[in-house]
Amino acid sequence: MFDLTGKCALITGASGGIGGEIARSLHAAGATVGLSGTRTEPLEALAAELGERTFVLPCNLGDFAAVEALPKDAAKAMGAVDILVNNAGITRDNLFMRMSDDEWQSVIDVNLTSTFKLCKGVLRGMMKARWGRIVNISSVVGATGNPGQGNYAAAKAGMVGMSKSLAYEVASRGITVNAVAPGFITTAMTDKLSDDQKAAILTQVPAGRMGEPEEIAAAVLYLSSPEAAYVTGTTLHVNGGMAML
Amino acid sequence: MSDVADRVKKIVVEHLSVEESKVTDNASFIDDLGADSLDTVELVMAFEEEFGIEIPDDAAENIQTFGDAVKFISEAS
C-alpha cells in the first residue's frame, strides 16, 4: 500500500518541521523528492540524511520569478513532478486593527499566491501524464479563524477554495487536488507559543496533546498515493478533534 | 494541404478521437469536434510541442477552429 516508487515529489517548506517529515515519508514510500525551502542548510542536511533520490531546490516563495522557475527546475532535476506538496507557510500575526498592508500581503503572497503559481506550473506535466497529486497544506484556522491571524486564516481558507476549484477542472485527467489541515502540531511555528498559550490551546483539543509532524506526513502520504485516486477536492483535518469538520 | 495543416490535423484527430473528415477549416473544436475547455488547453499544449513554439494565453483564446490553429501556427513557426 501507498507505494510511490518511480514518482517524483516536490515539497515546499521542506526545511521546516512538517515539510521535512513529509519529505521523509514520501521518500520512504519510494518517491524521488525535490526539497524546496528558503534556507539551504537544513535542506542539504535533510538530503544527506535521505541519501539517493533526493534533490535540493532552494526557492524564496516571496519572489514570484523564483516561484515560477521552481516547477521547471524541479522537472529538470527529477525528470517530472508527479506530486506537489505546497507546505511552505509563514505567519505575520497581529490584531486585525493593527495589521499593516505589508503583514497582510506577505502572508497572502507566500502562503496563497505561491501555491497558485506552483500548481499552475506543474499541471502541464501532470495533464500529459494523466496522473498527478497536489496536496496543499492548509490549517485548522482556515476553517475556524483565529484571533491575530486574519491574514494567515484568509490565506489558508483561500487554499481550500482554490484546491476545490482546481480539483473540479482536472479530475478527468487523473489529477487529484486535496488539502490537509493540521491543528496544533509541534513545530518551530508553535514553539513560539508560551506554555500558558499551549495549555489554553490544549483545553480545546479532545486528544489532549499537540500533534506530531509524522501525523501530518501520514495524511499527505495517503493523499499522494495511487490508492487515493478517488479522493479529490477534500480537506483532511488532522487536529486531535479540536474542530470536527 | 500544407504540412502544418497535416500535422495539426493529426493531433486533433488523435486527441479528440474524431474522424479526419470532420476536421475542416471551419470546424470549431468545442462546437463541432466535441472538445471541452480543458481539451482546448491540451490541444494548444500539443501544438506548442509539435511545432516548438509558444502560444500565449490571449492568442490561445482566439484559436477556436482548426483553421484558426493552422493559420496561427503557420504564421508563428
- Which candidate in B38, B39, B40, B44 is best for mutational testing of the A interface (most A CBs within 10 A)? B38
Nearest to B70 by CA among B14, B12, B17: B12
pLDDT category, B75, cuts 50, 70, 90?
Answer: very high
Q: What is the pTM of this model?
A: 0.93
Average pLDDT over residues B17-39: 95
* pLDDT band per the 50, 70, 90 thresholds, residue B55: very high
| B32, pLDDT greater than 60 | yes
CA angle A222/A227/A229 to nearest 5° reads 100
Across the range B3-10, mean pLDDT stands at 95
State how far Cα B37 lies from the chain centre: 13
Name the minimum distance, in Å, from the CA of B44 to any CA of chain A. 11
The pLDDT value recorded for residue B2 is 74
Chain B environment of A170 (Cβ under 8 Å): 38
pLDDT of residue A192: 83
Distance CA A151, CA A185 (A): 20
- Rounded to 5 degrees, what are φ and ψ at A222? -60, -50
Chain A, nearest residue to B46 by Cα? A128
Q: What is the mean pLDDT of residues A137-162?
A: 97
pLDDT digits (tens, 9 = 90+) for A65-87: 999 999 999 999 999 999 999 99
User: Given CA atoms A215, A224, A92, A95 in this order, what sign does their dihedral have?
Assistant: negative
Which pLDDT band holds residue A59 (cuts at 50, 70, 90)? very high
Indicate the SS3 state at residue A140: helix
Question: Measured between alpha carbons, how far is A24 from A18 in angstroms, rounded to an integer?
Answer: 10
CB contact under 8 A, B45 and A127: yes
In which residue are the cell numbers 490551546 written? Answer: A201
Chain B: give the shortest CA distance to residue A122, in Å: 13
Spatial CA neighbour of B27 closest among B74, B70, B76, B73: B70
Q: At B77, is the secondary structure helix, strand, or coil? A: coil
Q: pLDDT tens digits for A194-234?
A: 889 889 889 999 999 999 999 999 999 999 999 999 999 99
pLDDT score of B1: 53
Helix residue spans in chain B (DSSP H) = 3-16, 37-51, 57-62, 66-76
- Mean pLDDT on A94-118: 98
ipTM > 0.90 for the complex: no
Q: Are A180 and A115 in contact (CB under 8 A)?
A: no
HSE value, Cβ hemisphere, 13 Å, CA-based, for B27:
20
Cβ neighbourhood burial of A93 (10 Å; 0-12, 13-18, 19+): middle
